[in-house]
Homo-oligomer: A and B are copies of this chain.
C-alpha cells in the first residue's frame, strides 16, 4: 500500500517530487484498476501543487462528493455524467493543502446498501464492502494513499475492515459535509482511508485544521480500554472474535488495561432506532429521486424508501430523543474509559451479492463519536478492530488505535 506519511517524508527529504508521487499513483491505477474496478472517473490533466502539507498526495473522492472538475454520478444512472458547479468543502480544503483529487471512487448507489461492481483486492470473488467501496479498495490495492468516504451506518469502517486498511470515521461534523450527497443528515459523516493509523491521523489533523489530533504517540499513563461485544447487535463470526482477542492482547502488550463492559440500556435502545432516523431522513433527502426516478433506483434502496413511507414524524422524534439520551449515557461512560474496543465488522468480507452487515457500526455513527478501524493480521482474509473515543476526542481514538497497532507489530 501507499503510505501518506512515507510519501510526505520522501518529498520533504527531497527524494521524491509531488509530480512523481502523483505519477506513481497513476501508474498503480493503470496496472491494478482493471481487476479491481474502484475508480469511477480518473482525472486526465490535473495540476500538481509543488507546495502544501498534502502536496504529492493523490486522493480518491467517493462519487457522492461534489467535484467541479470531474463528474459526480452517485453510483446511479439518474446522475450519469452529472457535473456539479462547485467542489465540496472537503475537496476545496484538500486542494488548498496541496493534495490532488486524482479520481472519483466507486460508490454504492447514493451510498446505500446495493452492491457496487468493485471487487475486493484480497479476493475478487468477495465484496470490498460498501458503500465507500472504491475508496477502501483503491487504498488496499496500493493505487492511492488517501481516499474519502462517508458513513451513515457502517460505510467507512466496514469496507476498511474487509479490505485490510485503516480508516477513521471522525466525530460528527468534524469534517464539513457541504457538497456531499445526503442520505441522512443526522448520521452522514465523512471518513478517511489510509494504509495505517498514522496515515489517517496525519490526514485528519491537516484536513480538520487541528494539529492535536496527530499526537504521534501513546497517551500518558496506562490507557483504560473498555471491551465491548455489542451483544444487542447480534453475533460476530469466529474470525471477528479471534481478531478482537488478538487486539486485546496487543493492547495489553502496549500497556493498556482492558476490561470487558456491558453498555447501559440507553445505548442498545438507541441502536434499535438508528434505522428509523436514517430512513425517515433518507426519504426526504432523496425526495426528488424518489418522485422522479423510483424505477431507476436499485432494489435494496428502492424497497428501503418504499418502507420509509410508513414512518411517522412521531416515531422519528422519539428515536431522536432516544439517541440524545444515549449520547449522554455514553459521555458518562467515557469518564471511566479512554477508549472502547469492539468489532469493526461481523467477520471477513462476504460474497459480492451483499456489501456486508453494518450492525457493529450503526450505534457509533448515531452517537457521533470518532471510530478508528485498523487491520489485525492473523486470518486468511482481512479483519479489523474498531477503537472508539468520546465525541470530539478523535486524537485519543487514534492514539489508542496506534497503541494496538504497535502492540500487534511487537507481538
Residue numbers of A with Cβ under 8 A of B are: 68, 78-79, 82, 85-89, 91-93, 95-96, 173, 176-179, 182, 185-186, 208-210, 281, 284-285, 287-292, 312-313, 317, 392
Contact = CB atoms under 8 A, between A and B. Distances in A.
Contacts of A291: 92, 95-96
A287 B185 contact: no
A87 B287 CA distance: 8
B82 A288 contact: no
Given A87-B287, A173-B186, A179-B288, 13 more contacts: A86-B289, A87-B288, A89-B288, A91-B288, A92-B290, A96-B287, A96-B291, A176-B281, A176-B285, A178-B287, A208-B313, A210-B313, A317-B392
Contacts of A93: 284, 287
Nearest to A173: B185
Contacts of A285: 89, 176, 178
A186 B174 CA distance: 12
A93 B173 CA distance: 26
Contact of A288 (B79, B92, B182, B284): B92
Protomer copies: 2
Given A209-B313, A313-B209, A392-B317, A178 B289 contact: no
A230 to B, nearest CB: 28
Greatest chain B CB density within 10 A among A177, A281, A287, A317 is at A287
The 8 A-B residue pairs with the shortest CB-CB distance in the complex, in nearest-first order: A92-B287, A86-B288, A87-B288, A178-B182, A209-B313, A178-B285, A92-B288, A176-B284
A82 B68 CA distance: 13
24 contacts: A68-B292, A82-B85, A86-B288, A86-B289, A87-B288, A88-B288, A89-B182, A89-B285, A89-B287, A89-B288, A91-B288, A92-B287, A95-B291, A96-B287, A173-B185, A173-B186, A176-B285, A177-B185, A178-B182, A178-B185, A178-B284, A179-B288, A208-B313, A210-B313
Contacts of A86: 288-289
A240 to B, nearest CB: 35
A52 to B, nearest CB: 13
A83 to B, nearest CB: 9
A290 B317 CA distance: 37
A410 to B, nearest CB: 34
A288 B84 CA distance: 12
A78 B68 CA distance: 13
A214 B86 CA distance: 39
A68 B317 contact: no
A185 B284 CA distance: 18
Contacts of A95: 291
A96 B294 CA distance: 14
A179 B182 CA distance: 9
B173 A68 contact: no
A287 B179 CA distance: 11
A124 B114 CA distance: 55
A173 B285 CA distance: 12
Contacts of A209: 312-313
Contacts of A96: 287, 291
Nearest to A72: B85
A85 B79 contact: yes
A63 to B, nearest CB: 14
A96 B287 CA distance: 9
Nearest to A86: B288
Nearest to A392: B317
A209 B290 CA distance: 18
Contacts of A173: 185-186
